[in-house]
Structure 1
Amino acid sequence: MNGILALVLAASAEEGDAGLDFELFRPHGDTYGFAVVPGASTLQNLQLGAGLWFDYSDDPVVLVDAAGNRVSPNGTDADGLVNSRAALHAQVGLGFSRYGSVSVDVPLVLSQDGFVAPTLGDPSPGTLAPTGVGDIVLTPKAVVLDRDAFPLGIALAVPISVPSGDPAAFLGEGAVSAAPQAIVEWSDEKIHTRAYKFRAAAMGGVLLREPARLQDARFGNAFTYGIAAGYRVVSPLEINLELHGNSTGGRLAQNAAELLLGGKFLMADLVSVSVGGGTGLGGGVGAPDFRLYAGVDFAPNFDENSRDADRDHVADGRDKCKNDPEDLDNFQDEDGCPELDNDADGREDSIDKCPNDPEDDDGFMDNDGCPEPDNDKDGVLDADDQCPNEAGSPDLAGCPNRDSDGDGIGDDLDRCPYDAEDVDGDRDEDGCPDEGRVVLEKGFIKINDVIYFDFNKVTIQERSNSLIDEIAKVVIANPQLLKIRIEGHTDDVGSDIANLKLSQGRAESVKAALAARGVEIGRLDAAGFGEMRPKVANDSEDHRAENRRVEFIIVDQK
């Protein structure tokens, strides 16, 4: 609906009372709340809060007849008892410790228009006073749980309205009223220091006031409520969504609510500017067709134990560097001074991988800022290691057991310290090379035997199984051999195509046999070359037998 339905009149409605302050928009009394919904935090000790808020509402109170049509005076285009209102709220507050505050709100109506309708049929209704002072509100507030110290903040407040406005102009109640309320607030970080990203608050209370009657609707004590959430989309801008209202009975006119969406700009320290707008919900008295608002809060603090000039979360009273923010890295953070090089090793923390452990500056990996107490990681600390950069044995003061032939077996255990073990799977632990049937050479594996196949077939004969076993042991014992090509070769007897096929099949058979013995299949390739690569000339039976062979070529290694 375009307007807010405030109350319904029968044609015989009686003359209405004029003691109702319908205003829903009552800005919070300190800089830590939302636009209307208060927060559970409050002004800190000796912190002064000052605010100036402007709002404009359209049709906050309208009159409808029994058919539901809005009533307008004869000869006017006004469609509400209060057709529009522009108001200013001047506020000031002061905190006592961090758990209590008192604030004062002085509402000033800058302009309003509408009409006074004693009876529905009055052809010349009166007009509202265009300006005036509203009821002044005094709000004491006490913090039960401080959100900055507990996961949840809880506060109690009692706004007390003093009859300073003209009831006939809808500017006041004409009597003292009070609205005790409880407030709960949660945030992901501290409120006072503006470190939070997200926060939410809920308020519930009761409005205690003298009974009033507006045309045929009666108003008395009311339940008040509000919920709000804020999210910092960027550091200086918080987006707020609020729902607040009151309920004094079961009729539509007795239930007013308002939804507001706004932005809060966190300017200089403890200064904020708010702008936003919203609409009334539910059709109650005071819920406008729409509302626009803007406000500014300023909250200087005169207690240096609460002030934080450099906004480093260390109060000025104990901050030794008031204008130089603490770096908050869990190292001497209580003094308020930044420690750019915590461990004093000459490397700033921003590039120091171990900012709290000084580099040992021993010429070994000194660029990272981390100490290396055991450079060679041999279990012997460098302070006691006679060979700090060579892994050794504790029994040798940290020096290595030499391996003269580089076969991985220390000279103290190597029976042939100057002749490298061949690692062929045969007595490899003694450090001496064994000239067996399988020898690891540079670029290939030498086979001092023959892999026998059935005549003109790819089947490996049983007598070659032990040789295949040895080859597999050598390959497995040398993981640095990443890729081995198994090559099959034939003599020149038979056709070229048949020999090529036969050699490929025999290479594949050897590959499968090695895989069956535990060699990773991915390390093996099989290739048949037929008679294309004879080892010797095929001019005798002995030479042909020598050309019928399987070779193991090392294609890739670490």
Structure 2
Amino acid sequence: MSGATPLVSPMISSSPSRRRAPLWALAALLWGTTASAQSQGGALPSFELERLELNASGVGSMLMGTGELLQDGDYRLSVTSHYENNPLVLFRNDSRLGAMVGYRATAHLGMAYGLWGRFELSAQLPVVLAQRGDDLTQYGAGIPRQGLALGTPTLAARVKLLSEADNDTVDLAFGVQGSPRLGNSQALAQELRLAPTLMVGRRLSNSLRGAFSAGLMWRPRVILTPDENIQDELGHELRLGGVIASMGRGLRGEFAINGSVPFRRTGYSVETLGGARMPLNPSVEGYAMAGLGFGNAPGTPDYRVLLGVSYGKSAPACGAGGRNDSRVCPDMDGDGDGVANAEDTCPTEKGLVDAGGCVPKDWEGPVAEDTTDSLDGQEVAVAMVSEEPAVDMDGDSLVDSQDSCPDEAGPVDNLGCPVFTEPVVSLQKDRIKLTDTIHFDYNKATIQPRSYPLLDKVARILVTHPEILRVTIEGHTSGEGPADYNRKLSQRRSEAVREYLLGQGVALERMEPKGFGEDRPVQSNATEAGRVANRRVEFITHQQDDAS
């Protein structure tokens, strides 16, 4: 029986069946770590019943770390509803007395953030919504809190050691997860914990990925039986997990097995869980999981079901800002010859479609964008070797040279930008439009680091749109201060933007900085909101047809 615990009175000296020996007398556990707990008003001991650990970042798996981490600046917020059946059942000499916790409903709040592409920080906060069980007070057992209660929060940090994206054989990461002594002990939801974990993952095929994790769970020692001859207990254990997950942009699935091996005579626990996840829009994802439990360790349910939703920003696994390795990104076209990596015999060399992405040794024709070939009497287009291949890094069917958001997938009728949110940077007919502000230090021409990602997107558009012959970088200020000073300040700020874009690969001759000071307000300077709107940088583009 999952979650099974023999209930043994301190007066009973005979040992129950060794099949259940690892989990003696939860009555003693519920009385406290000593036999005197009953005299303390039947207070419940402080330990965390929940065994399941979710992957707050959601990278690779919803249930466990896979060695992959969130990229720099990426984040994920999640809410998961969780139901488990019979996570804590009491036994006496192999006879079932009842379920101390027959069911438990919990909400898990999670968040994760990536730093510098090599670190990841996360936090999770479980909230017990409700739990019910049988009345076992006649056996000396207390009744856990049944209403709303705070669970044991967890904080975690991970560091990347190896990465397939960097041509390493596997993804490898090390993490440490800790739980402070917070939560509600009367709800069986409070425990001090520390768990160092090693996570390793690797692509198994073009559509599947496998991962394995191993960690130590350090938790306070809790004696389950006061009998002098039997010293079974809850305590440190080795935790192991494995997962196989599908990859791609649409519906994905995964199957995982988690288990624990006790250092002492705590019970064992094994759970199998399967789930699916589906993006609802570029930022929101829904997911569901369910599984069965086997074992007699407290917190091992007969079954559990989870439903959740997450919101976040993550760099594409492949493409601009992400990976483009043929092993890791089979759906990408890394060399831009029209043949996906998974099917390209020469994935690092532009070639011919009908030659498997390679250039035939006897090919002596001119370099061309495309040509035609005969197939069963029909003329079909065949991509040839090209010095400037048509690249679609975000895979939304709109090539980068025509894509206002080349790093984010979106419909063609929205210029390649996501339809659910207005793009922060988008290419319009005569300008690059910003929906955010470029921030400078007060009264200076120093760009604040928080504006670097915004300018990176501007640079990306300019680099991928050679038809833009030049761009005028216009600096504007509010009406505060002398007009001549504001004009000089705006000029210095536009020049600072030019220098930043130059460092991102935009040719110097394509950029013209020009400061207008307070001469061209877009709103009244009489209000603070108007003054904020007037402090701005605009990018006016000049195309081939208006170069004159």
Task: Name the TM-score, length of structure 2 as normaliser.
Answer: 0.52
Aligned to 2:240: 225
Which of the residues 54, 57, 63 maps onto 1:27? 54
Equivalent pair of 1:222/1:247 in contact (CA under 8 Å): yes
Counterpart residue identity of residue 221, structure 2: P
SS at match of 2:72: coil
Which of the residues 5, 8, 14 maps onto 2:6? 8
Aligned to 1:541: none
Aligned to 2:203: 187
Aligned to 2:296: 283
Q: 1:81 Cα shift? A: 1.4
Q: 1:7 Cα shift? A: 1.4
Aligned to 2:149: 132
- Report which of the two structures shows the higher radius of gyration computed on alpha carbons: 1
Q: 1:164 Cα shift? A: 1.8
Which of the residues 74, 84, 102 maps onto 2:103? 84
Counterpart residue identity of residue 309, structure 2: V
Equivalent pair of 1:183/1:204 in contact (CA under 8 Å): yes
Q: 1:266 Cα shift? A: 4.4
Taking the aligned partners of 1:367 and 1:120, their CA distance within structure 2 comes to: 85
Equivalent pair of 2:3/2:301 in contact (CA under 8 Å): no
Change in CA separation of 1:6 and 1:332 when aligned onto 2, cut-off 3 Å:
same
Which of the residues 263, 271, 274 maps onto 1:258? 271
Which of the residues 86, 90, 96 maps onto 1:59? 86
Q: 1:92 Cα shift? A: 1.1
Aligned to 1:483: none
Q: 1:206 Cα shift? A: 0.7
Counterpart residue identity of residue 238, structure 2: F
Equivalent pair of 1:29/1:139 in contact (CA under 8 Å): no
Counterpart residue identity of residue 144, structure 1: L
SS at match of 2:190: coil
- Residue 243 of structure 2 is aligned to residue 245 of structure 1: no
Counterpart residue identity of residue 149, structure 2: G
Equivalent pair of 1:116/1:128 in contact (CA under 8 Å): no
Q: 1:85 Cα shift? A: 0.5
Change in CA separation of 1:154 and 1:352 when aligned onto 2, cut-off 3 Å:
closer
Aligned to 1:167: 185
Taking the aligned partners of 1:115 and 1:370, their CA distance within structure 2 comes to: 71
Equivalent pair of 2:56/2:62 in contact (CA under 8 Å): no
Change in CA separation of 1:142 and 1:270 when aligned onto 2, cut-off 3 Å:
farther
Taking the aligned partners of 1:283 and 1:204, their CA distance within structure 2 comes to: 21
Taking the aligned partners of 1:354 and 1:288, their CA distance within structure 2 comes to: 52
Q: 1:249 Cα shift? A: 4.3
Aligned to 2:320: 314
Change in CA separation of 1:317 and 1:8 when aligned onto 2, cut-off 3 Å:
closer
Could you list the per-position Cα deviations for residues 472-522 of structure 1 after superposition, in whole angstroms to 9, with x for gaps in the alignment? xxxxxxxxxxxxxxxxxxxxxxxxxxxxxxxxxxxxxxxxxxxxxxxxxxx
Counterpart residue identity of residue 90, structure 1: L
Equivalent pair of 1:16/1:215 in contact (CA under 8 Å): no
Taking the aligned partners of 1:351 and 1:331, their CA distance within structure 2 comes to: 11
Aligned to 2:221: 211
Taking the aligned partners of 2:62 and 2:116, their CA distance within structure 1 comes to: 24
Counterpart residue identity of residue 218, structure 1: E
Q: 1:211 Cα shift? A: 1.3
Q: 1:236 Cα shift? A: 2.0
Taking the aligned partners of 1:128 and 1:148, their CA distance within structure 2 comes to: 48
Q: 1:33 Cα shift? A: 3.8
1:114-513 aligned within 5 A: 114=133, 120-121=139-140, 125-149=142-166, 150-173=168-191, 176-188=192-204, 197-214=207-224, 217-231=232-246, 236-249=250-263, 251=265, 254-269=267-282, 271-301=284-314, 307-308=315-316, 313-315=319-321, 327-330=333-336
Taking the aligned partners of 1:282 and 1:32, their CA distance within structure 2 comes to: 29
What are the ranges of 5 or more consecutive residues in structure 1 without an aligned counterpart? 72-78, 190-195, 302-306, 319-324, 334-342, 372-558
Aligned to 2:344: none
Q: 1:235 Cα shift? A: 5.9
Aligned to 1:69: 95
Give the fraction of aligned pairs with identical amino acids, expressed as a percent: 19
Taking the aligned partners of 2:150 and 2:218, their CA distance within structure 1 comes to: 21
Q: 1:267 Cα shift? A: 4.7
Equivalent pair of 2:287/2:309 in contact (CA under 8 Å): yes
Change in CA separation of 1:46 and 1:352 when aligned onto 2, cut-off 3 Å:
same
Could you list the per-position Cα deviations for residues 215-274 of structure 1 after superposition, in whole angstroms to 9, with x for gaps in the alignment? 665212221111111235x862322111113233454x5212211122222454464322
Aligned to 2:123: 104
Equivalent pair of 1:99/1:143 in contact (CA under 8 Å): yes
Change in CA separation of 1:282 and 1:89 when aligned onto 2, cut-off 3 Å:
same
Change in CA separation of 1:151 and 1:265 when aligned onto 2, cut-off 3 Å:
farther
Taking the aligned partners of 1:354 and 1:256, their CA distance within structure 2 comes to: 50
Taking the aligned partners of 2:296 and 2:372, their CA distance within structure 1 comes to: 73
Counterpart residue identity of residue 93, structure 1: A
Q: 1:60 Cα shift? A: 0.3
Taking the aligned partners of 2:199 and 2:355, their CA distance within structure 1 comes to: 46
Q: 1:136 Cα shift? A: 0.9
Taking the aligned partners of 2:145 and 2:58, their CA distance within structure 1 comes to: 33
Q: 1:86 Cα shift? A: 0.7
Task: Name the TM-score, length of structure 1 as normaliser.
Answer: 0.51
Equivalent pair of 1:358/1:370 in contact (CA under 8 Å): no
SS at match of 1:286: coil
- Residue 73 of structure 2 is aligned to residue 46 of structure 1: yes
Q: 1:316 Cα shift? A: 8.6
Taking the aligned partners of 1:366 and 1:147, their CA distance within structure 2 comes to: 38
Equivalent pair of 1:245/1:258 in contact (CA under 8 Å): yes
Change in CA separation of 1:165 and 1:353 when aligned onto 2, cut-off 3 Å:
closer
Taking the aligned partners of 1:172 and 1:200, their CA distance within structure 2 comes to: 33
Taking the aligned partners of 2:32 and 2:135, their CA distance within structure 1 comes to: 9
Equivalent pair of 1:109/1:134 in contact (CA under 8 Å): yes
Taking the aligned partners of 1:370 and 1:7, their CA distance within structure 2 comes to: 68
Equivalent pair of 1:114/1:128 in contact (CA under 8 Å): no
Change in CA separation of 1:358 and 1:54 when aligned onto 2, cut-off 3 Å:
farther
Taking the aligned partners of 1:121 and 1:360, their CA distance within structure 2 comes to: 90
The worse-fitting range, judged by mean Cα deviation, of 46-55 and 31-40 is 31-40
Q: 1:317 Cα shift? A: 13
What are the ranges of 5 or more consecutive residues in structure 2 without an aligned counterpart? 11-26, 34-44, 227-231, 325-330, 340-348, 375-381, 385-548
Q: 1:352 Cα shift? A: 10
Q: Give the alignment's Cα RMSD to 1 decimal.
A: 3.7
Equivalent pair of 2:3/2:299 in contact (CA under 8 Å): no
Change in CA separation of 1:300 and 1:370 when aligned onto 2, cut-off 3 Å:
closer
User: Aligned pair count?
Assistant: 321
SS at match of 1:168: helix
